[in-house]
Structure 1
Amino acid sequence: MEASLNMQQKLETKLSLTPQARQSLEILKYSLVELENFIKEEAEANPLIELKEIDSKHILEMARIQAPEAISSMKDESFDPLLQVPNREESMEAFLMEQLVLLKHLSKKDREIVLYLIRNLNDLGYLDCDIEEIAERFQLSIERCEELIAVLQSLEPAGIGARNLAECLYLQVVRKQDAPQNTVLIIQNHLEVLAEGDFQRIAKLYGMTNEEVENLFSYIKQLNPRPLREFLSSKQEYIIPDIIVEEMNGEYVIHLNDRYLPEVSINTYYVELLRANASGEIKEYLNTKLSEAFLLMRGIEQRHETLFRVTESIVEKQRAFLNNGKKELVPFRLKDVAESLGLHESTVSRTISQKFIQTPQGTLPLKTFFVRGVRIQGGEVESPLFIKEKIRAIIENEDTLRPLSDQKIANILLAEGIPIARRTVAKYREELGISQSTKRRRKK
């Protein structure tokens, strides 16, 4: 068998992003604070970029206080609102991403999905999205989604990515060697009973003494129900909205909160130098830096334009919420906005990532307005809030001597043309602050 060399021509089409497109996408995902940091970094590295700093009083005016104890700090003359903004390098996302990079066995798509999960963690470190939504978004099986959630949950701190308190505690206990016997089983099956202090019932169920149950309870109380508590310092008590929506004469007006950002302009001294007698390496250097400065300015402009357009779409769709509050949220997906604006879904995802909007109903994350609906009989889609109110009404009218289990509630909803799983009923019931059926039972 002879080996031979030959040349072949192959025609191949590849999508290649221009430097302008890459930078625009990068800028688009930044929150207001992150963008401010990025602009300053670019200005430090580019002498042609000139910044006009804003008055810090504007920052203080736009700050939305999350914790009452922070009010006293604002009265202190030495209080600097700039120091109350968390540094991007110290963020939760960066901390988790550093660990994700070390997991060499993950494919590029796996990393993309885990990053999406990271960006859907709430401030306490709990995963704030439905597994069905993840499966639909990335076209995965539920089993594969669970595997990737497990990857997130393997990161530090222990408990990260949990979907409820029981799972958060479980994730911490399984990493420890000193957990008392039956700790995992009790957390998974009888955490509410333990929290109620019914030690005798726990002791009877698991063949333990009351003293052993008390020791187990003390052990569980030492666990951390908030995995990201160490990240929640006073520096994160202020939210500066990226967008402000105000009602004026019955209409909603959108303002981009760009006055928080330093004004970016071109340093005229270097431009004149370039026009005058710059040559050789100096000319090449100045031209490069001038192009970079224009790229930055265009990227900021495109971010503002896209953010404004996405917000317009949100306001149009969720007007009832702006008028009446959270109960009026209607099903709304990233795909809906992408199709209406002619954008890619990932662009919309970047646009709403880590951004806040100030509305007549309060200052909220932009992703609040995106609600995954439940398809009911006849093909119509209802919001989870509608389903929750149905569950509340069913429970309010149940026989208190024989409260309905989550499965029975799911069966009732199915009979009304609303097919949802028992675990979804349990999740919505917990979010409504309603106890499970055994707790609701009343004695004669």
Structure 2
Amino acid sequence: METSLHFVQKLENKLSLTPQVKQSLEILKYSSEELEHFIKEEANANPLIELKEHNREHLLEMARVPNSGAASFVKDEFFDPLLNVPQQEKSMETYLMEQLAVQRSITKREREIVLYLIRNLNDLGYLDCEIEETAERFCVSVEKCEELISLLQSFEPAGIGARSLRECLSLQVVRCGNAPKLTEILIQKHLEDLADGNFQLVANLYEVAKAEVEEAFSYIKQLNPRPLMEVQSGKQEYIVPDLIVEEFNGEFVIQINNANLPQISINAYYEELLLTEACVQTKTYLKTKLSDALLLMRGIEQRHETLYKVTESILQKQTAFLQKGNKALVPLRLKEIADVVGLHESTVSRTISNKYIRTPKGVFALKAFFIRGVKMQSGEVESPLFIKEKIKSIVEREDIKKPLSDQKIANFLLAEGIPIARRTVAKYREELCIPQSTKRAQKK
């Protein structure tokens, strides 16, 4: 067989990002604190960048995040940067991504899905996305998603990626392997009984000694219902809101919070030197650094413009929230905002990542305004709050002698045109603090 070398012309479309676009995308994903750190790093490496710090009295109020990971925030307090030096620590996302990086047996696509799951963990470490929606998003089967969720749940700390308290505790029991024999069934069926101290009732049900139930309960109490507590620092954290919404004359006004960001200007000495310097090498160096400085300034300007535009579109969709709070949130997806502002969905995702907004109702992550809805048989989409009210109403009307199981509640909802899975009913019921049917029967 003869071989030969020859040239072939080939025409193809290829997306190539310029340095300006790359830096703009990088800056876009930074929170205020991360951007402040990035600006100072750039200034240290570039003599043409001159920074002017804001006076301390111009620092805006901060909102403290409780260590419990609760969704609500306490009232604003003035943040003293001298008394609250941030601790250098590994973020939860980084910690899990390091574990993902060593998984050699999965494909690139599967890795992307696991990364998506990691980014949809809530502050407690629970998975906060619907498996059907994830499967549809990545064009894979629900079974494949379940498989990848199991992979995530194999990471440290034990219990990460659980979808409920019961699953979180069960994952830890399986990982440990030395739990008392009744532990698993008590977690799945009798957490409420254990919390109420009904040890004898459970013991009679399984024909075991009360001491066995108490032993299993003691073991369960040692488990961690909040997996991220093992990763997160015990110190108080503070949030610098990236945006502020205030009401003026009945209208809500959005402001970009740049009070903690240093003001950037070009050093006058080096700017003059650039005009007068005769040395070609020095002039080339100064031109490069001037270009970098201007690129940084434009990137920050674009970040603010995009952040404002995206936030404005979000609040236009969630206008009722500003008057009524969380209960008025409506279903909203990234694609809806992307279509409105004319950006790619991934750009919107970067924009809201790690960003917080201070509103008259408190401080919230921008991500909190995106809630999944349930598609009705009519084609309309209703919010989880609407479904919860339906579940609450069904439970209130049930026969006190025969409380409805989660599956029967799901069947009632389906009859009303609301297709919803049993496990979703169970999740919403627990969030409403409604006991399971066996427990309701005992109380009634």
> Fold-level match, TM-score > 0.5?
yes
Counterparts in 2 of 1:418-429, with a 5 A limit?
418-429=418-429
Structure 2: which amino acid aligns with 1:136?
E
What residue in structure 1 maps to residue 62 of structure 2? 63
Mapped to 2, the partners of 1:35 and 1:226 lie a distance apart of: 30
User: Corresponding residue for 2:194?
Assistant: 194
Alignment check: 8 A CA contact 1:334 1:349 kept: yes
1:336 aligns with 2:327: no
Query: For structure 1, which segment, 43-52 or 104-113, has the greater mean C-alpha deviation from structure 2 after superposition?
Result: 104-113
Residue type of the alignment partner of 1:83 = N
Please name the residue that 1:389 is paired with: 389
**TM superposition shift of 1:118:** 2.1
Q: Do structure 1's residue 116 and structure 2's residue 119 form an aligned pair?
A: no
Change (3 A) 1:330 1:438: same
Instruction: Tell me how far 1:211 sits from its aligned partner.
Output: 1.9
Q: Is contact 1:182-1:206 (8 Å) kept?
A: no
Q: Distance in 2 between matches of 1:206 and 1:26?
A: 58
Shift, 1:325, TM fit: 1.8
Deviates more, 1:280-289 or 1:245-254: 280-289
Q: Distance in 1 between matches of 2:47 and 2:142?
A: 51
Instruction: Look up the match of 1:346.
Output: 346
What secondary structure sits across from 2:175 in the alignment?
A: coil
What is the aligned partner in structure 2 of residue 15 from structure 1? 15
CA contact (8 A) 2:67 2:234 kept: no
Which one-letter code corresponds to 2:273 in the other structure? L
- After TM superposition, give the deviation of residue 169 of structure 1 in Å: 1.5
Using the aligned pairs only, state the percent identity. Answer: 66
Q: What secondary structure does 1:121 align onto?
A: coil
Tell me, what secondary structure is at the counterpart of 2:176? Answer: coil
Please give the residue correspondences for 1:176-187 in structure 2 after superposition, counting only pairs within 5 Å: 176-187=176-187
Q: Partner of 2:50: helix, strand, or coil?
A: strand
Instruction: Give the deviation of 1:273 after TM superposition.
Output: 1.9
Whether 1:323 and 2:323 are equivalent positions in the alignment is yes
SS at match of 1:246: strand
Question: What is the rounded CA distance, in whole Å, between the counterparts of 1:104 and 1:278 in structure 2?
Answer: 55
Query: What's 2:364 paired with?
Result: 364
Instruction: Give the match for residue 49 of structure 1.
Output: 49
Secondary structure in structure 1 of the residue aligned to 2:364: strand
The 1:51–1:107 alpha-carbon spacing in structure 2 relative to 1, beyond 3 Å, is: farther
**Greater shift after overlay, 158-167 or 95-104?**
95-104
Q: CA deviation at 1:204?
A: 4.4
Q: Which residue of 1 aligns with 2:153?
A: 153
Matched residue, 1:411 = 411
- Relative distance call for 1:266 and 1:149 in structure 2 (3 A) is farther
Gaps of 5+ in 1: none
- In the alignment, the residues of structure 1 paired with residue 373 and residue 234 of structure 2 have an alpha-carbon distance, to the nearest angstrom, of 36
Partner of 2:269 in structure 1? 269
**Is the contact made by 1:400 and 1:442 (CA closer than 8 Å) also made in structure 2?**
no
Cα distance in 2 for partners of 1:243, 1:62 equals: 12
Contact 2:66 2:236 in 1 (8 A): no
**Residues 85 and 235 of structure 1 are in contact (CA less than 8 Å); yes or no, is this contact kept in structure 2?**
no
User: How many pairs align?
Assistant: 438
CA distance in 2: counterparts of 1:361 and 1:419, whole angstroms: 32
Query: Structure 2 CA distance, aligned partners of 1:109 and 1:68?
Result: 35
Query: Can you give the 5+ residue segments of structure 2 that lack an aligned partner in the other structure?
Result: none
Cα separation, 1, equivalents of 2:268 and 2:344: 37
Separation (CA, whole Å) in 1 of partners of 2:189 and 2:296: 54
Give the whole-Å Cα distance in 1 for the aligned partners of 2:126 and 2:287. 48
1:236 Cα deviation (Å)? 4.2
TM-score (norm 2): 0.91
RMSD of the TM alignment (CA)? 2.6
Q: Residue 86 and residue 30 in structure 1: after superposition, are their counterparts in 2 closer, same or farther (change >3 A)?
A: farther
> 1:91: how far off?
1.9
* Structure 1 length-normalised TM: 0.91
Provide the C-alpha distance between the structure 1 equivalents of 2:176 and 2:242, rounded to a whole number of angstroms. 42
Q: Residue type matched to 2:127 in 1?
A: L
Q: 1:228 to 1:38 in 2, by over 3 A?
A: same
Contact 1:401 1:442 (C-alpha < 8 Å) held by counterparts? no
Deviation (angstroms), 1:356: 1.1
CA distance in 2: counterparts of 1:17 and 1:345, whole angstroms: 17
Partner of 2:216 in structure 1? Answer: 216
Partner SS, residue 125 of structure 1: coil
1:152-209 CA distance string (max 9 Å, x none): 2222222122221112122222222432224334323433333333333443455543
* SS at structure 2 position matched to 1:83: coil
In the other structure, the counterpart of 1:431 is: 431
1:290 aligns with 2:327: no
- Structure 2 CA distance for aligned equivalents of residues 188 and 65 of structure 1: 35
CA distance in 2, matches of 1:236, 1:95: 20
In the superposition, relative to structure 1, how do residues 311 and 290 fare at CA in structure 2: closer, same or farther (>3 Å)? same
C-alpha distance 328-50 of structure 1, shift in aligned 2 (>3 A):
same
Q: Is the 8 A contact 1:401 1:443 kept in 2?
A: no
Deviation for aligned residue 1:265: 1.8
Matched letter for residue 395 of structure 1: V
In 2 relative to 1, CA 407–241 (structure 1 residues): closer, same or farther, beyond 3 Å?
Answer: same
Matches within 5 A, 1:57-136: 57-59=57-59, 61-67=60-66, 80=81, 83=84, 85=86, 87=88, 90-136=90-136
